[in-house]
Amino acid sequence: MKRDYSISVAMATYNGEKFIKEQLDSILKQLNQDDEVVISDDGSTDKTKTIINSYKDKRIKLINGPKKGVKQNFANAISECGGKYIFLSDQDDIWLDGKVKKVLETFEKEKCTCVVHDCEAFDSETGKIVIESFFEFRGSKPGKLKNIVKNSYIGCCMAFDSSLKEKILPIPNDIEMHDQWIGIISEIEGKSVFLKTKLLKYRRHNSNVSQLKRGSIAEMFTKRNRLANKLKERKRKW
């Protein structure tokens, strides 16, 4: 699709040599020459940075991460993004053909501030589909209270309008995950759309940063209470 604006992909990496090439290949072929992939690497000790640099692609901007964990690594990448829309990306998934086009069409049609689409999860070792629909698995839908109580935002399937950057950043270090924070702020400031189309293959393996398991009731209550308080603090500053 023709467009008069650029987009950014914010990727956080750390020792991702096994899958980073497949991920980057699936992304770059969907981007225009004016787009960018901002990769914040949090001190990889394997060949991750060597693989990234081997592309010799001017659209790739590799920066040093803050070495403060995944949330701040993503925040670092987001802070350097200059595109109208910012797509979040893990280092080990696979973008399906048409993802960028479909998400941008949704932004333009819905006039929203965030788009989150469905995906299927597969086992990295066997290739077997382990979750056919993340939306069905997680009961994904918009709603501020709903997503504070039970988060259904998944970062690798999200893109948001860059106008949210000043509201999102800095990302608090003591909340659970960046994707929930971004999604709820989008709902406070604008509108989030949950697109039922599957546009990504979500790789599950032993090194995943995010896990699909629940904590204890006490842990969940503490995390949700902390998130709600942080949202109130941030809103007061606006």
Residue entry with tokens 């709902």: 187
Which pLDDT belongs to residue 197? Answer: 98
Compare 44 and 217 and report the one with higher pLDDT: 44
Compare 206 and 181 and report the one with higher pLDDT: 181
Give the span between the Cα atoms of 90 and 205, in whole angstroms: 13
Which pLDDT belongs to residue 85? Answer: 98
pLDDT confidence tier of residue 222, bands split at 50, 70 and 90: confident
Which pLDDT belongs to residue 118? Answer: 98
Half-sphere exposure of 132 (CA within 13 A, CB side): 1
Which pLDDT belongs to residue 238? Answer: 78
pLDDT confidence tier of residue 213, bands split at 50, 70 and 90: low
- Mean pLDDT (the chain) is 94
Helix (H, G, I), strand (E, B) or coil at 109: helix
CA 65 to chain CA centroid, nearest Å: 16
**What integer is the mean pLDDT of 57-80?**
98
* 207 pLDDT more than 70: no
| Domain 7-237 belongs in CATH node 3.40.50.300 | no
* 212 pLDDT more than 60: no
14-48: per-residue pLDDT in tens? 999 999 999 999 999 999 999 999 999 999 999 99
Which pLDDT belongs to residue 235? Answer: 83
Report CA-CA distances (Å) from 10 to 46, 70, 109, 225: 21, 12, 23, 28
Compare 215 and 223 and report the one with higher pLDDT: 223
Which pLDDT belongs to residue 216? Answer: 75
123 Cβ partners below 8 Å, 6+ apart?
130, 204, 205
145-172: per-residue pLDDT in tens? 999 999 999 999 999 999 999 999 999 9
**What integer is the mean pLDDT of 187-191?**
97
Looking at residue 207, its amino acid is: S
82-134: per-residue pLDDT in tens? 999 999 999 999 999 999 999 999 999 999 999 999 999 999 999 999 999 99
